[in-house]
Structure 1
Amino acid sequence: MIRIAALVAALACLAACAAPAAPGGTPTASSTANPALPPGYDEHPQRTPPCSTTSADSPDPAAGPLGPDGRPDGPAVRRVRERGLRVGVSQTGQFRSKRDLVTGELFGLEIDLAKRIAAALGVPAGDEGLRLVSLPTGGRLYSLDTAANREARADTALADVPEVDLVIAGVSATPCRVEKYGLLFSEPYGQTHSGLLVRAGLTGVAGPDDLGGKKVCSGVSTTNSDEVIDERDRQLAQRKRPLVAVAVNDTGDCLMLLQRGFVDAVYSDVLVLHGYRYQDPGTVLLDYHGPVTTRMAIAASGEQEDLVRFVNAVLHDMRADGSLQRANEEWFAGLPEHHRLPLPDDPHQR
């Protein structure tokens, strides 16, 4: 009996030591206590710290050297043309980037963008040319090769994040991300806002103020998570019963948690939530509009400005020939009108 007790104690210690870590590198007590919860599950997420950067401006595609094809040129562009293009994507965004479970192929607006950029670079389709890499929401921007990210990736929790050239995964272009990760954003290719998804049986809920004491899930280190934390803090300041902010490494895990009853709502990009509702008709997307309209852009290393200028040239062409508008209309045709925001203006339009 003594040996059995010792063995049980040792196994318990081993399980605790192997607890999954959040993207910041700190194991969370919640995920350690309940192995049914996904990696990085945290009921006490931290808000993104304030930053000194006030602009997320994107470089003008015409403000630099041009190649023989008339497009932006430079060392990063030439390197990608030689060894192929690696693009970090989601695989759980129904309309933007979703994996077909039968064929294994990825499809959606953001996959179309990746293919258009690869074609302009002369990179062939297939893993040897265009490689699409699935990234978790919380770690996606650490995948870019920047000085800040190289230092952060020395942390064992981030060491396995794959390196890519571009991230096209519903990333909101914010100044703080430019500062934190040392990246550059392309021109915006779309815009959206946050929404709330709940189970069909949850009644009397129209917005965050009706979720006091209930768990609201978002992807860690996202603008959505920051908004949830801000709502919680506002409710506390107004002496209301606050909601419980929950963060996970990948936003896709929030749907699983909602389905299993571990959380009561998912707070995310409304386009992502429409995809979740499409997957599970037992969910309800509330008629709620988050406080901020965000612009989605392609992220790249700030040390590879020529590649960002090239991407901007492609997006400029897609605006000019109408293919960007047509792609948005095709993929988001089934969304209610009040969730279909127009394309943002081209900041470099001449």
Structure 2
Amino acid sequence: MKRLAVLALVCAALAGCAAPSPAVPANRALADELDPAAYPRGYTENPTKQELLRDCGDETRSWRPTPGDADGPTVRAIREKGYLVVGVSQTALLLSRRDQASGEISGYEVDIATAIAQALFGDRWRQSLRFVNMPTGKRLLSLDTQLNREVRAKDATVAEVPQVDMVLADVSVTCTRVRQFGIAYSRPYLATRSGLLVRGGFKEGAQGPDDLGGSKVCSGDQTTNSAEMIEVRDRQVAEGKTPLHPVSVQDTSDCLPLLQRGLVDAIATDVIILGGFRLQDPGTRLLPYRDAEGTAAITLSGDPEKRDLVRFANGVLDRMRADGSLLDAYEAALSTVEDRSALPDEPYRD
């Protein structure tokens, strides 16, 4: 026994009885480096450029509610089937998150969906409100529009996306989405800006994306944040700088475990989502960088025969503004977000 102990000491002193194991960074498990399964489905490095036009006038503005909306064809059809189906994230802590112990889902967007269900079904709203989890990149394909029906007929992967009546999942308002998916927006219920989240201690002097050259920056697929990081990369390349490396994932929530495991270096999304990530991991750090302010709205079918549901949702939002319940829900859900913006008050198109 004593002889074995001596041999062990000799080996340690010579540092060479066996080849040393490769060093593993403290913030990264070795399995993550070797196992492709460590990456979420849809993980893509350096995605191609996405066009997400924001400013296009009335094209993205919503329709003013009218007295007959409660008896419109789409609203009647939802009442007749007996339930409202709403697509949400279910992983966005402050907006819509399901408690795995109780099964209850809560957040600012859930409060709005609840108000719409109450307006539709009265006291029966609890039995008549159904939530469906929506991956970030495919959430707008879940709406029944003429353009989406054409895509579903050609693409089997899109045909698998569940259909919903409306989406409340922090959808930024862009006219590109109106043209691509045939959608319509409600009046905005949230204003926010893009930000960047990194691990504590990572590039301490970094202020924004120009300081993240060579770093992997994660965003949800087909989001304005992903488009912004791609634009930054392309600009840095044109200027002869070391570019950052955009990474896209099917759902923005997949970015947090990637950051925690050291597989990406930063997350780019809006500060509301980042505020929820910081609550889940206080060891992260929000950079000073803020991009242009955008607005989020309920997303619905933009087909002309279905605009009564858009107007109906706007009527609910307007009543919530008038009685103060929208502001109360906003403040209650987002009180931990220090740099949250004021509620938007954008005009209708008519």
Describe the superposition over 1:75-112 as per-residue Cα deviations: whole angstroms up to 9, x where unpaired. 10001111110000011111111111211211000000
Query: Does the CA-based 8 Å contact 2:62-2:349 persist in structure 1?
Result: no
Distance 1:50 1:271 in 2: 20
Q: Secondary structure at the match of 2:161?
A: coil
* Structural mapping, 1:249-264, within 5 Å: 249-264=250-265
Bigger mean CA offset, 339-348 vs 216-225: 339-348
> Is the aligned partner of 1:73 residue 2:65?
no
Structure 1 residues 234 and 188, CA, compared in 2 at 3 Å: closer, same or farther?
same
What corresponds to 2:215 in structure 1? 214
Distance 1:240 1:129 in 2: 54
Query: Does the CA-based 8 Å contact 1:316-1:346 persist in structure 2?
Result: no
What corresponds to 1:12 in structure 2? none
Report the CA distance between 1:309 and its aligned residue: 0.4
Distance 2:38 2:290 in 1: 32
> Is the aligned partner of 1:117 residue 2:116?
yes
What corresponds to 2:148 in structure 1? 149
> Is the aligned partner of 1:61 residue 2:59?
no
| Identical residues among aligned pairs (%) | 52
Distance 2:313 2:42 in 1: 33
Structure number having the greater helix percentage: 2
Q: Secondary structure at the match of 1:171?
A: coil
Distance 2:268 2:100 in 1: 25
* Structural mapping, 1:48-197, within 5 Å: 48-49=50-51, 54=56, 55-62=59-66, 66-67=67-68, 71-83=69-81, 84-122=83-121, 124-126=124-126, 128-154=127-153, 155-197=155-197
Query: Does the CA-based 8 Å contact 2:85-2:129 persist in structure 1?
Result: yes
Report the CA distance between 1:149 and its aligned residue: 1.0
The residue type paired with residue 276 of structure 1 is F
Considering only CA atoms, is the larger Rg found in Structure 1 or Structure 2? 2
Structure 1 residues 143 and 214, CA, compared in 2 at 3 Å: closer, same or farther?
same
Report the CA distance between 1:349 and its aligned residue: 11
Distance 1:247 1:346 in 2: 31
The residue type paired with residue 95 of structure 1 is L
Distance 1:173 1:255 in 2: 24
The residue type paired with residue 206 of structure 2 is V
Query: Does the CA-based 8 Å contact 2:233-2:245 persist in structure 1?
Result: yes
Structure 1 residues 347 and 144, CA, compared in 2 at 3 Å: closer, same or farther?
same
Q: 1:327 aligns with which of 326, 329, 339?
A: 329
* Structural mapping, 1:224-239, within 5 Å: 224-239=225-240
Q: 1:309 aligns with which of 308, 311, 322?
A: 311
The residue type paired with residue 312 of structure 1 is N
Distance 1:233 1:77 in 2: 45
Distance 1:238 1:300 in 2: 40
Distance 2:150 2:343 in 1: 36
Q: Secondary structure at the match of 1:157?
A: helix
Distance 1:223 1:40 in 2: 17
Unaligned runs of 5+ in 1: 1-32
Query: Does the CA-based 8 Å contact 1:197-1:267 persist in structure 2?
Result: yes
Query: Does the CA-based 8 Å contact 1:72-1:313 persist in structure 2?
Result: no
> Is the aligned partner of 1:269 residue 2:273?
no
The residue type paired with residue 166 of structure 1 is M
- Misfit runs of 4+, over 4 Å: 50-53
Structure 1 residues 179 and 52, CA, compared in 2 at 3 Å: closer, same or farther?
farther
Query: Does the CA-based 8 Å contact 1:194-1:267 persist in structure 2?
Result: yes
Query: Does the CA-based 8 Å contact 1:188-1:297 persist in structure 2?
Result: yes
Aligned length: 308
The residue type paired with residue 61 of structure 2 is D
Distance 2:40 2:314 in 1: 37
Distance 2:76 2:323 in 1: 26
Report the CA distance between 1:260 and its aligned residue: 0.9
Distance 1:149 1:277 in 2: 35
Distance 1:207 1:343 in 2: 26
Distance 2:74 2:314 in 1: 14
Structure 1 residues 160 and 321, CA, compared in 2 at 3 Å: closer, same or farther?
same
* Structural mapping, 1:38-49, within 5 Å: 38-49=40-51
What corresponds to 2:15 in structure 1? none
Query: Does the CA-based 8 Å contact 1:73-1:310 persist in structure 2?
Result: no
The residue type paired with residue 274 of structure 1 is G
The normalised TM-score by structure 1 is: 0.84
Aligned residues: CA RMSD? 1.9
The normalised TM-score by structure 2 is: 0.84
Unaligned runs of 5+ in 2: 1-34
Distance 1:272 1:77 in 2: 31
Distance 1:279 1:237 in 2: 37
Query: Does the CA-based 8 Å contact 1:189-1:295 persist in structure 2?
Result: yes
Describe the superposition over 1:138-163 as per-residue Cα deviations: whole angstroms up to 9, x where unpaired. 11000000111112223122221110
